[in-house]
Every structure is written in structure tokens, then in C-alpha cells.
Amino acid sequence: MPDPQDPRVAVYLDFDNIVISWYDRVHGRNAYSKDRQRIADDPHDPEVSARLKDAMIEVGAIIDYAASFGTLVLTRAYADWSSPVNAEYRSQLVARAVDLVQLFPAAAYAKNGADIRLAVDAVEDMFRLSDLTHVVLVAGDSDYVPLAQRCKRLGRYVIGVGVAGSTAKSLAAACDEFESYDSLPGVARPVSKKVAPAPSAEPEEDAPVKTRAASRSRAKKAPKSADVDTAQPTEQDEATALLQRALRLGHDKADADEWLHSSAVKTHMRRMDPSFSEKALGYRSFSDFLKSREQIAELEETGHERLVRLRES
């Protein structure tokens, strides 16, 4: 059985998945599919090269995050390394002692079978390395859900890493812990590229004012009930609801008015939703996150102790 006092970590990267997902995150939905042929034809074209550079993956950020859980006993990256996009990373990966597993696609646009090969290797490693305690899956496909579940059944702690917006929620839920690649230390968040407005006969400085006025006009005409029906909960709203559920469940196990340790509340929240991360929501600490929810959470800080309870309505 694995010894929790000496954590030993295995890392598996579906490298094509993370590269393509981050490219789409930086340049827009399905951007890689649209640019795939141009990249294959001439990856050194100035425009293509610039777009690839803007969407470069910070390999070190992923490896460093995995190493925070314990000693890295093996790290493998699965991809077609003959592809110009992936070839750019070979020196970085080799420098971090990452094993490069070569996968050749069956056809020009076919999947390379990384999910099958990665899953087979991971299960074999768990039986071969009995002291393995943690498994880090760097991917986003729901195809990896059975692998994450099997790793957990075999007694391993599973950490998922994926690009925000491109990772299946089912995969995040199947992990013990999930971290967005976007929120890893050392990763620069992509800057949203605004589309230039169409030419207009009116002065440019008047356009935003006119747009805001039109928006206000439309908002006044729309019935309030329609706003409620069509509004989608944001990540902030979902985090607030998650906190409220965790506090209620915590109070159910204890007295209704009893203070709860904030660390225990956060642990419970991550068990309910492994993708929860206060840093991804823009907060430096969990305490800052709690302070921003003062309408539902009451925080008490005594020395190094942080206590929280559900605020009475």
C-alpha cells in the first residue's frame, strides 16, 4: 500500500490536448481547427509563428505544480512529436526529465489515441509501482473519467489539470482535486482580443456612448421576468452557492451556531467541486474569498485561526 508519509507522484500529460485547448483559449473558440492547415503548411510563417508563440504552454508551471504534491517518480507526455507545434517543446520537456511518448495519428485529422495509450500505461504503473500515492492527469477530455475513477478505487489521490472552458465537468468531478491551468503560478492569463468596430460616419468617441444608451434602452424595454429566465449563473454565483451548501452541511454535522474552521470548509467545497479555486476567481486567499461573501458568511480571525459560519438571514 502507498505510504502517505512519503508522497510519490506520477504525471501523465495528454500534450496535444493541452496545447490545442490553450491555443483555443488564447485565440478564440475552434481557432486551432481553423489554423491547423496553415500551421502544417508553414509553421515559420511570421503570422503563424506569432500566433503559436502567443499560445505557448508553460511546461515548467505544470511540472512545478505536480511536484508540490511529492516526489515525481515518473512524468510522461503523449503526443505526435513530429508535429511542428509539439516539436517546439521537446527541449523544455527533456530538460525537466519528461519521457516523450511518440504517437502517430492514423490519418491527417484523426485522433492520435493518446487517451488509450495513456490510460493503459497509468493502470500498468499503478500495479507495477505499489508505492505510488498521487496521479496527476493533465488533460480535459471526458474519456479520462474512467481512468480517474479507477485510480481512486486503487487508492491513489487523483489531481486533474485542464484549460478553463475546455475541460469536461465530468472529468473535474471524477478527480479528488482539480486545478485550472490558467490559475497555475507562472501562467499568464490570456488577454481577450476585442474585435474592432465597423467603420461609422459618426465620430469614434461618440460610439461607446451611443452603444451604452442603446443597451439601456433595450434593458428598459425587456421585461424583468425575461431577465430572470435567461440569466445564466456566473462562476462567482456558482462559487457563492457552493460555499452556502458547504456551510449548511457543516452546521448540520455540528450545532447550528457553531463556528467552523475555514480550512475544513474549503476542503469540503473542493470535495463537492474539485474544480473550485479561489485564485481562479481572482482572490489571493480563501479568507479574501470569504470576506467577499459577507452577506452569507461570517468570518472570525483569531491569531492564526480562521473560523467561519453561515450568517443568519
Return the pLDDT at 181. Answer: 93
Assigned C-alpha cell, 67: 511536484
Would the pLDDT of 301 be above 60?
yes
Secondary structure letter of residue 295 according to DSSP = T
DSSP-assigned letter for residue 71: E
Instruction: Give every strand in the sheet of 8-14, ordered side by side.
Output: 99-102, 71-79, 8-14, 134-138, 157-162, 177-180
Residue 216 has pLDDT above 70, yes or no: no
Rounded to two decimals, the pTM is: 0.69
Contact 290, 308 (CB under 8 A): yes
Paired residues of 9 in beta bridges? 72, 134
> What confidence tier does 253 reach under pLDDT thresholds 50, 70, 90?
confident
295-301, Cβ contacts within 8 angstroms, sequence gap of 24 or more? 296/240, 296/243, 296/244, 296/247, 297/243, 297/247, 299/262, 300/259
235-310 fold:
Nucleotidyltransferase; domain 5 (3.30.420)
Burial readout 69-108 (b: 16 or more C-beta within 10 A, e: otherwise): bbebbbbbbbbbbebebbebbeeebeebebebbebeeeee
Domain boundaries, the chain: 8-183, 235-310
Could you tell me the pLDDT band of residue 251, with boundaries at 50, 70 and 90? confident
Q: What is the pLDDT of residues 117-142, one digit of tens each?
A: 999 999 999 999 999 999 999 999 99
For domain 8-183, say whether CATH 3.50.40.10 is its number. no
**For residue range 21-44, what is the model confidence (pLDDT) as tens digits?**
999 999 998 999 899 888 888 888
